[in-house]
Amino acid sequence: MKIKGTLILLMFAVMTVLTGCEPLMILNPKGPQAQTQADVILLSIGIMSFIVIAVFAILIYMLVKYRASNQSDDYEPPHIEGNHIVEGIIVGIPVLIVIVLSIVSVRSNYLVEATPEGYEDQDPLVVYAQSSNWKWHFSYPEEGIETVNYLYIPTDRALEFKLYSEGPITSFWVPQLGGQKYAMSDMVTTLHLAADAPGEYMGRNANFSGEGFAENTFSVNAVPPDEFDEWVDEVQDTAKPLTEDKYKELLEPGHLGQLTFSSTHLEFSPPPEGEHGGHNHGSSSEDSEEGNMDMDHENMDESHDPSE
């Protein structure tokens, strides 16, 4: 009785504590990409829970039905060579589970790598997200502004992040908007996101990159399009431009607060793509084909003999 009472009290205490917990950010999506990933996670949890419950139920049934005390003293178990039905079940069900999860995973990967559903007909907001020890630099080339350690984005518009690093490999991650993607020093990777609802979301570097990794975070402010345009105008009118000397100072290892500039570093320190020897991972197939055609054209020019 004491053990039973202790277990009931423990379960009540756990339930009381859990009721005060906020929902996991990855299971509280605010964008189509994050919603796709949350659906896959919940589906996987549901399938695994069903398997665990079924296995334990069968185990308990077998232990109770075929326990030694439930048999006569002279019981002799029959000699069985095998059972094709049982063997088919124990092999077929795991195969079906793997097939289902594989199809779901592949389909969801294609969805989150592409422009969010419902935003295909609009031009995305392009943001270059560069990491350094231990901060994030966000450049808006079309708007001609740059921020450090915070993002302003419009809701209901496709977002296209161009990721790279000025230092060690990092990982750009905004849990409520979508999955993480690596930022590297010798290539540009592309991440497609969108925010369906206004709010302030947490972002961070999800890849260990040294002693300052724990504070390598940034905030994401999703606002209506009109408010975003007002913010852009205000930055262009009031913020100071980013100079090359200031940019080099920002690259020094350390932590900073939030900074805003009315110009970007892309003018004097372009990202590692194109003629700079990088690769644009995650770009569309059309971009890749154009890049290959340009490279073929350059190779033909180099092989051409002027004397001919």
**Do 189 and 251 share a domain, yes or no?**
yes
Q: What is the CATH number of the domain that holds 260?
A: 2.60.40.420
**Do 96 and 135 share a domain, yes or no?**
no
**Do 150 and 38 share a domain, yes or no?**
no
Domain assignment present for 59: yes
**Do 134 and 236 share a domain, yes or no?**
yes
Mean pLDDT for the stretch of residues 91-107: 94
**Do 107 and 140 share a domain, yes or no?**
no
Give residue 72's pLDDT.
80
What is 136-172 written as a DSSP string? EEEEETTTTEEEESEEEEETTSEEEEEEEESSS-EEE
Give residue 14's pLDDT.
61
Q: Which residue has the higher pLDDT, 244 or 66?
A: 244
**Do 93 and 139 share a domain, yes or no?**
no
Give residue 12's pLDDT.
67
Task: Mean pLDDT check: name the lowest of 50-59, 72-81, 103-112.
Answer: 72-81
Averaged pLDDT score across all residues of the chain: 85
Give residue 302's pLDDT.
44
The sign of the dihedral angle between the CA atoms of 264, 265, 268, 274 is: negative
Q: How far apart are CA 157 and CA 59, in angstroms?
A: 52
Give residue 33's pLDDT.
95
Confidence of residue 295 (pLDDT cuts 50, 70, 90): very low
- Is the pLDDT at 83 greater than 90? The verdict is no
- Is the pLDDT at 1 greater than 50? The verdict is yes
Q: How many CB atoms lie within 10 A of CB 263?
A: 18
Task: Mean pLDDT check: name the lowest of 17-21, 158-162, 251-255.
Answer: 17-21
Task: Name the residue range of residue 53's domain.
Answer: 22-69+83-113
- Is the pLDDT at 280 greater than 50? The verdict is no
**Do 105 and 136 share a domain, yes or no?**
no
**Do 278 and 210 share a domain, yes or no?**
yes
**Do 232 and 105 share a domain, yes or no?**
no
